[in-house]
Structure 1
Amino acid sequence: MSVAEHRSAALAVDGLSVRYGALKALDDVSWSVATGEILGIIGPNGAGKSSCFAAVTNSVVHGGETYLLGQPVAGVPTQELAVKGLRRTFQQNSFFGELTVMENAVSVLARDHSTAFSASLLLPWREAATRRAATAAARRLLDRFGIAALHYDKRPGEIPYGIQRLLSVALAYGNGPRVLLLDEPAAGIGGNDMRHLARILLDLRTAGLALVVIEHHMDLIMTVADRIVVIEQGRHLAEGPPAAIQADPTVLEAYLGRTQ
């Protein structure tokens, strides 16, 4: 990957390698995603897709380099990467189950809407104003992802599963990252929920977000992705626009053909 690609990409990974003991989960994998682009990552179960996200966010020991907005971020703690604009979801829903939907949304915006302890004690009116601002921002966040007000006072486990998936994406998005990594956001959903998710992803792309989406639902990823990277047994197998990937004989042999 060239220096120019590093500098122009919102996120670029070069020569990513991950080992779990004797198992080589990733072997010299490289890809990049630009601002306002959706990159899809597909491959069979166990191909190393989720290991890509774990390595990129420095959650596992790995080889290779990662560049966020042109800057190397090897060794930067995961939580600091989130502050710098790189965030991710997981295959399982991620939220605080004991809090309401609204409280979950407020919690992810706390960094931008908080009051110093001394001000909370001495200037209670400022604390109240901060809480109102945080609630208003949380409403805007939930509304952006199509989560209706009737769900705000419910716990996540009490709302439909499709809305839970959207909530997990909304909470990862928070106050607006530069790059969002989505690990199987459509897992367990279909129909209207799938179409709603597709609209949300396309809206985020239009707004200038860089998205990397791991997905097994081929109809979704072929619809929303600008480019697709195929990983097979931990290695980069193919890359290109959806139409080219669908017609690539090596992909059909290694992956897509198995689902037909």
Structure 2
Amino acid sequence: MDGRVASSGETQRRDGAEVLRVENLTVRYGALVALRDVSWSVRPGEILGIIGPNGAGKSSCFAAVTNAVGHSGQTFLDGDEVSATKTFDLASRGLRRTFQQNSFFGELTVLQNAIAAIVREYSASLATSLFLPWREIAVRRQAELIAAQLLEFFGVAAQYHDKLPGDVPYGVQRLLSVALAYGTGSKVLLLDEPAAGLGGSDMQKLADVLVDLRGRNLALVVIEHHMDLIMSIADRIVMIDQGAMLATGTPVEIQRDPKVREAYLGRDE
């Protein structure tokens, strides 16, 4: 990554209370313990990176945080325990996530996907549609405007808005998936390998978007295998290996940790 992004990542934002905190998360799939007593937290305006080898339990951590799988341990959002809150309700409260695969409606245009992501905030009631159709039209036009602005912020240019997601470049698809998860604004965004399959200018665009989101006081938790990306933008990093936390610290501390170097980053010759 270039120096501009790296210098942005050096800014530490540790003001305010933790917006998301997880304590002793444990996930079991039958006899397999995928995650064991993992704890971390993230504040507004902070990027927390989660790294580890394949199969380390990183995605299981996100599934547990969003209550998509059975687990033990506790999760707190804005100080309230949400360990048993339904995934859909967590999203309504501002805790949202992406997946390793792109997530969108393939039969809708890029703009229509964005409208669908904000439909709860920008939609008319049935009564309005029936008896005040001009107001319904105004609401629809506002939704289109807000959706277009959302896409533009995430680097999805207007030239792609009328295309189907499958017809736009892969790098644009990745940005679209992040935009749809963010919607009209979230408090915490969990990103599962957002840079998968990216390189060069596409990865730089993603890095710029994540840094801009941090500047908007969003809390981001990013699972990532691209070490150059996560080390350049993260404020803190958690290393997970074989389901357990191996180390936590700043990018510099993580890179110097001998346990991390041995387990993941590789030893010096």
Is structure 2 residue 121 aligned with structure 1 residue 112? yes
Is structure 2 residue 23 aligned with structure 1 residue 14? yes
CA-to-aligned-CA distance 1:204-227 (integer Å, 9 cap, x gap): 001100000000000000000000
Letter paired with 2:78: L
Is structure 2 residue 73 aligned with structure 1 residue 64? yes
The structural deviation recorded for 1:259 is: 11
- Whole-angstrom CA distance in 2 between matches of 1:223 and 1:253: 21
Letter paired with 2:220: L
Partner of 2:250: 241
Please list every run of 5 or more consecutive structure 1 residues that lacks an aligned counterpart in the other structure: none
Is structure 2 residue 153 aligned with structure 1 residue 131? no
Letter paired with 1:208: N
RMSD: 1.4
Question: Which SS does the other structure have where 1:255 is aligned?
Answer: helix
1:100 to 109, 132, 140: 109
1:164 to 155, 173, 177: 173
TM-score of the superposition, structure 2-length normalised?
0.93
CA-to-aligned-CA distance 1:46-98 (integer Å, 9 cap, x gap): 00000000000000000000001111001110000000010000000000000
2:238 to 220, 229, 232: 229
Partner of 1:81: 90
1:179 to 154, 174, 188: 188
- Whole-angstrom CA distance in 1 between matches of 2:54 and 2:37: 19
Amino-acid identity (%): 65
CA-to-aligned-CA distance 1:20-43 (integer Å, 9 cap, x gap): 011000000000001100000000
Partner of 1:50: 59
Partner of 2:7: none
- Whole-angstrom CA distance in 2 between matches of 1:129 and 1:214: 40
Aligned length: 255
Is structure 2 residue 33 aligned with structure 1 residue 24? yes
Letter paired with 2:261: L
The structural deviation recorded for 1:258 is: 7.5
Structure 1 runs (4+) deviating above 4 angstroms are none
TM-score of the superposition, structure 1-length normalised?
0.96
- Whole-angstrom CA distance in 1 between matches of 2:100 and 2:268: 20
